[in-house]
Amino acid sequence: MKRCKLFALLLAAALLLTGCGSRKSPAAEPMAYGVNMAQDKSADYDVPYAYEEPTEEAATTAPAPEGAAGIADAENRYGEKIIYNAELTITADVPADSLENARRQCEALGGYLASSYEWTDSEGKNYASATLKVPADQLEAFVQSLERLGEAEHYRLWSDDVTLEYYDMSARLKTMQAEEAQLMQILAECKTVEEILLVREQLAEVRERIESYQGRINLWDHEVRYATLELTINETPKKVAETDRWSAAGVGGRILEGLENSWDYLLIILAGFVIVLANIGLPVLVIGGIVVGTVLLSRRASRKRKERRARKQLAAEQGKAEAEAAEQDAGTRENA
């Protein structure tokens, strides 16, 4: 009988887990007040924030807070959960220095630097960007302090009302925590290994959901507490100097400067060529001298051999001619 009662309780717990994933708790319906806010403006910041008018139902239950600075009062009075985000673009002479000043101001207000990045484009212009987390009720004051770092180009503010989702998740968390306590009581009454394993399986699923719900609630709490500001800092464009403007004298000077640079480049090339020859010229000269000397000696020896052959041939021809002349003289004498 006791075992049947135990399995009945486990079955009820399983059914509760199945239904909890899809139901909407009545506790998740506190206020249906929503704030949607967006603002784009140029360097002129005298225009106040532009809010959308709330519905009549929302207006009767809760007046809209004035700017991000009113979020703390609104949350304390009405329990609203509103996440604020903003974008700000400014120009400054030295973006890196302005970014460091922004970080210090953020930390002075109780915020922190989430991430930052600095880079230089192909034209040599410097940029910096950062994601800053600042207490939501200090967002407006922080933006005003950043405007003094340079010239503001763009500003946008918007919000995300997560009130309904927050309280729905809180109700589910309380339900799972109550279910966990009930399962712990059942586990204490288990007698067999089978019963213990079955209860632990249900308990593991309940605790997994508790961790998921609690993690989401903690994330919302952090996002509501800290507004997110995406800051971009561009380098102030440099003004054209008088010496850089076009003039005939200026063009002539630039031509002469170009010729001087060309002559300098030519001298650099020649100097490099001489240096190369100094490094590899001696081995080349030695090898070349050996080759040239060998060729010259070979040609000289060949010429001497040809001269000796010519002298021998000439001597042979002279001897033959003398012999023929002697024979002719001898024949003439005999005839006489």
Q: What is the pLDDT of residue 239?
A: 67
Q: What is the pLDDT of residue 185?
A: 95
Among 72-76, 130-134, 157-161, 168-172, name the one with the lowest average pLDDT: 72-76
Q: What is the pLDDT of residue 248?
A: 55
DSSP letter assigned to residue 136 = G
Tell me the backbone φ, ψ of residue 130, rounded to 5 degrees. Answer: -155, 150
Q: pLDDT-based confidence at 70, cuts 50/70/90? A: low
Q: What is the pLDDT of residue 293?
A: 82
Query: Looking at residues 131-156, what average pLDDT do you find?
Result: 94
Please give the CATH number for the structural domain made up of 82-162. 3.30.70
- Long-range contacts, 172-177 (Cβ 8 Å, 24+): 172/20, 172/25, 172/209, 172/213, 173/210, 173/213, 173/214, 173/217, 174/27, 175/16, 175/20, 175/25, 176/20, 176/206, 176/209, 176/210, 176/213, 177/210
Q: What is the pLDDT of residue 39?
A: 39
Residues 177-202: tens digit of each pLDDT:
999 999 999 999 999 999 999 999 99
Q: What is the pLDDT of residue 9?
A: 54
Query: Which segments of 189-319 are extended strands (E)?
Result: 226-235
The two three-digit tokens of residue 316, written as one number? 């042979």
Q: pLDDT-based confidence at 104, cuts 50/70/90? A: very high
Going 10 to 11 to 16 to 22, the CA torsion angle's sign is: positive
Q: For residues 323, 327, 328 and 331, what is the CA-based torsion angle, rounded to 10 degrees? A: 170
Q: Which has more pLDDT, 27 or 141? A: 141
Q: Which has more pLDDT, 40 or 10? A: 10
CB-based burial label for 297 (10 Å; 0-12, 13-18, 19+): exposed
Q: What is the pLDDT of residue 295?
A: 83
